[in-house]
Amino acid sequence: MERYTNTCGEPPRYNIARGQDAPVGGQLTMRWGLLAPWRGHGGKRGPMIYTAPLADIDKTPLLRNAMKKQRCLVLADGFYAWRKLGSKRQPYWIHPVPARPLAFAGLAATHADDGRASFAIVTVPADAVVAPIADTMPAVADDAWLAGGPLVTVVWRADAVSAWVNDVAHDDPRCVEPLGNPAQGELF
């Protein structure tokens, strides 16, 4: 999972990539790429963390601390995943059924040097719909997540979309337009 869509804010976004600002919680935006709040070795910042596998959060102090103290909700209405087909990769837009806004479970941090807030999306093993495309998927949450509550189960639909979404400069409705006629079972 490298990108997700969001039509909850102003203006609608259809292709949010790693490193870009995205809507988190109420009216906030944060950079997608969790950066430790402290300065790294030799004054350099450490690497950004884009996804945080739920099973591995306890293994990393940054993620473990964020899980305890700085959970967030990343607003979205779906995400993209790419399925390997020989030497090519087919993008899929994966969205809830029925279509609706939702929130991914996130972990946040604010860097001490520049005060910039950032987040990582918590991931879980792919369910039956997503597994033919990717090994993991974003964990979905509601307001209870912020206080330590559980994740939410969602029914997903996977639509093959054009390679238009592969360019981060493309941020329009063409990114989520299904190929063919998925109503007739052409996807799998």
pLDDT tens-place string over residues 66-120: 999 999 999 999 999 999 988 999 999 999 999 999 999 999 998 877 788 999 9
Q: Do 22 and 8 meet the contact criterion of CB atoms below 8 Å apart?
A: no
Pick 3-184's CATH classification: 3.40.50.300, 3.10.25.10, 3.90.1680.10, 1.25.40.340: 3.90.1680.10
The domain ranges of the chain are 3-184
d(CA 130, CA 112): 37
pTM of whole model > 0.85? Answer: yes
